[in-house]
Structure 1
Amino acid sequence: MKSPPHTRKQKIAALADQCVQCGLCLPTCPTYGLDGNEAESPRGRIAIAAALARGDAEPTATLRIHLDHCLGCLNCQRVCPANVKYDELLVETRALIGPAPERPRQLLAMLKQPTLLRLASRVADATGLERWKKRLTDRLPANSAWRAALATWSDDGTALPASLAPSPEAGQTVVAIFPGCVASVEDETAERAAVTLLQAVGYRIHRLPAFCCGAMDLHGGEMEMADRLAERVRDSWRNAGAAQLVTVTPGCLGALRRALPDVSVTDPVTLLAERMDRLSFRPLERRVALHLPCTQLNVARSESALQKLLSKVPSLDLAVVPRPPHCCGAAGTHMLEFPERAARLRDGVLGQIAILAPQQLLSSNIGCRLHLAAGMDKHGAHWPHMHPLTLLAQQLENSP
């Protein structure tokens, strides 16, 4: 719902007033860690938001860049003793000042269209993009969003696990699964894995159409488009006849919950953990590094459930990637809009992964995984990567 400017300003000012300026958020903020600049901290951004809302400052390029740099990781919100709703404050402030002039609209419009992404994927396969991708990216400017997007192009050949598709039983809970846009193409394997696992514990699955949830627009200040996509989410949900909504990428959860405030919207991991006793897995002797995306920690809050599920795989040697670093730098479109900053954050995470010496990398956020994979390519690291649900489905007893 579009808010009048004066109403939005009042809301931002009220949200900002909740901050007690204690500074406990500073050590958890990735951008403050990069720059050591108060304006690049949650406390500094709250002060900027308050000044903009009260008319004490104008959204100049010099001022707004600090808001644009924010990753929206919400590490600050998780540790805040005053319970400041930083996520809401950030969204409202970006809506107030509007999208950045440099926002790569054409690229983002393509990423939001699953049909276009699939077509681009077929063209890339037919032309052997993986062989000449580096030569093409090297010709593009260092801070080009298109260069960053090409660097994350996936050539993942992971086999899709087949759904168990048991016969429906009377009284089974129906769960709707939201495919998303990029995730519906790049993480289709994980979506099918989620269906396999959820059916194995007794849920019936209804798949919603694949489209963008509006997260990219919501966090980019494109509120009108975000509202239109939220209405599409509501229309799809009304036709689902389901009790709960899940998505395999936690990056969609915030936008879905905003669109459906009265609906249980969660990570499949949470539902699977509640019926964990129904799952049995084949042994796997492998050392894996588990990267926990900010959205899984601070929005889904399902990290403990995921680790419990993975611990049920016999012989699996699970090592959790330490924090800090607090964010890999992907952060939705941040890796496209600020590739140099995103790469600096990514290098810290890759360094922590290297210390763990894994044979494989697991991460539930497709943006994080593609961003980390681009860094692996750059540094010559070779850790196969997949969604944790894909590994669980592959090791599920009685699965193909």
Structure 2
Amino acid sequence: MNNMPLENTPARIATLADQCVQCGLCLPACPTYALDASEAESPRGRIALAAALARGQVSPTPALREHLDHCLGCMACERVCPAKVDYGELLTATRALLGPSPRRPGRLISLLRHPRALRLLHRLLPPRARDWLRHLLPERSAARTALDLLPTSSPAAVMTSSREPSSASDADTIGLFPGCVASVEDAEAQQAARELLRAAGYRVFVLPAFCCGALDLHGGEVAAAERAAIAVREAWQASGARHLVTITPGCLGTLRRALPGVAVDDPFSLLALRADRLHFRPLSQSVAIHMPCTQVNVARNDEALMQLLRRIPDLDLARVGGPPYCCGAAGSHVLEFPERADILRDALLDRVSALAPERLLSSNIGCRLHLAAGMRVRGDHWPLQHPLTLLARQLESTGKNTP
């Protein structure tokens, strides 16, 4: 992707659209095409719509823009495209041209972007209060969906911004970006990442917790996304690190956009490079792993993750099959189109059920919150974790036992 700021120029959109050769190989990989069997709900159809909008051949009617808003941004189409169309850039530029959707719950998303506000929400709305409040809210409303996504347990303590003493060289200094929702709801996995990276010989600098701008970029809020990108660049420059990692693959594309030329990844690739330094205790358990779309199509290191998990002796590991693989969370999509998100989620949970696991893993916080909400409705009771949490619990040097 190009560096910020994003110019929402029609000429740029038309040029990107012209890369498409209309072969249709993207259609079988697209979750929304599988859901609707409509050309307008496919990457090829959305490219044609974006080109027509950019050239002034059609008007951005509510019906037309809904097809673009339905896109999950899973980037599965990019993985299979023989013409190497930069679909992610095309989608981002088109949404910037259109501006935020009328369905976008701006105030709610603004709350989610601020870790302190999210922690306050946990304190003010314990599970019993949420149950009372949700019945006062319209069914399928964004606010009610957001309440359903909140975990029933209190979040772990957040890591503070810090630089740790270490014998590692400056070249081995890793900046860990906590993010916004993940810094609260995935605090345990953040700590697990730090433990694993340190065990592999890296020095970890924890950046301040704030939003990288992914939610805004996904929703066409260009000015807010640019402000977030500036904050990312400032925090990165202050860190003195050589690599930047996030445990949330949904943030990767936005962080890479804000920091062109910087090595930005999730921890799995760096850990895999030093896997010989990591030793794990056995775990005799059947575990299903859901690979988020961004893990497969943006991070593109799902095999490194699988290799690390296979280092746990006696672990019976099964990958949840597909396609389509998307759970339907997709940033703010779950808040804007909860019915569609639930259909995709239930299809994925059906595939998990067929594996009959004792534990379920998924590396993206949005996916796990969405899957957990569906599990509560269905009565499924698998422990649901970030893979880093499981790896850290089985790490020989931690002395912890997996519950």
Give, in angstroms, the shift of residue 204 of structure 1: 0.2
Q: Which amino acid aligns with 1:102?
A: R
What is the count of residue pairs matched by the alignment? 392
Give, in angstroms, the shift of residue 137 of structure 1: 2.5
Give, in angstroms, the shift of residue 323 of structure 1: 1.2
The within-5 A match list for 1:146-295 is 146-156=143-153, 168-169=166-167, 171=169, 173-295=172-294
What SS does structure 1 have at the residue aligned with 2:50? helix
Match of 1:394 in 2: 393
Distance 1:121 1:136 in 2: 13
Distance 1:147 1:359 in 2: 30
Give, in angstroms, the shift of residue 139 of structure 1: 3.5
Out of 270-279 and 323-332, give the one that drifted further. Answer: 323-332
Distance 1:138 1:10 in 2: 48
Give, in angstroms, the shift of residue 156 of structure 1: 3.9
The within-5 A match list for 1:1-400 is 1-2=4-5, 8-124=9-125, 129-131=126-128, 133-156=130-153, 168-169=166-167, 171=169, 173-400=172-399
**Unaligned residue ranges in structure 1 (runs of 5+):** none
Distance 1:286 1:237 in 2: 39
Answer yes or no: is the 8 Å Cα contact 1:364–1:387 preserved in 2.
yes
Distance 1:117 1:378, change over 3 A: same
Distance 1:386 1:16 in 2: 39
Distance 1:296 1:226 in 2: 22
Q: Which amino acid aligns with 2:191?
A: R
Distance 1:170 1:88, change over 3 A: closer
Give, in angstroms, the shift of residue 60 of structure 1: 0.9
Give, in angstroms, the shift of residue 58 of structure 1: 1.1
Give, in angstroms, the shift of residue 171 of structure 1: 2.1
Deviations 1:103-141 (Å, cap 9, x if unpaired)?
1011000000001111112223xxxx3235345324422
Distance 2:169 2:335 in 1: 45
Distance 2:396 2:156 in 1: 17
Distance 2:352 2:132 in 1: 27
Distance 1:161 1:308 in 2: 29
Distance 2:219 2:292 in 1: 20
Distance 1:35 1:337 in 2: 17
Answer yes or no: is the 8 Å Cα contact 1:290–1:363 preserved in 2.
yes
Q: Which amino acid aligns with 2:25?
A: L
Q: Which amino acid aligns with 2:362?
A: S
Q: Which amino acid aligns with 1:147?
A: R
Give the alignment's Cα RMSD to 1 decimal.
Answer: 1.8
Distance 1:291 1:217, change over 3 A: same
Give, in angstroms, the shift of residue 142 of structure 1: 2.3
Distance 2:198 2:289 in 1: 24
What SS does structure 2 have at the residue aligned with 1:313? coil
Deviations 1:356-377 (Å, cap 9, x if unpaired)?
0011110000000000000001
Deviations 1:267-295 (Å, cap 9, x if unpaired)?
10010000000000011111111000000
Distance 1:211 1:170, change over 3 A: closer
Deviations 1:308-359 (Å, cap 9, x if unpaired)?
0000001111111001232100001101110000000001000000000011
**Unaligned residue ranges in structure 2 (runs of 5+):** none
TM-score norm. by structure 1 comes to 0.95
Q: Which amino acid aligns with 2:307?
A: K
Distance 1:157 1:399, change over 3 A: farther
TM-score norm. by structure 2 comes to 0.94
Answer yes or no: is the 8 Å Cα contact 2:327–2:344 preserved in 1.
yes
Distance 1:397 1:2, change over 3 A: closer
Distance 1:221 1:377 in 2: 32
Q: Which amino acid aligns with 1:37?
A: S
Distance 2:383 2:50 in 1: 41
Q: Which amino acid aligns with 1:367?
A: G
Distance 2:307 2:330 in 1: 26
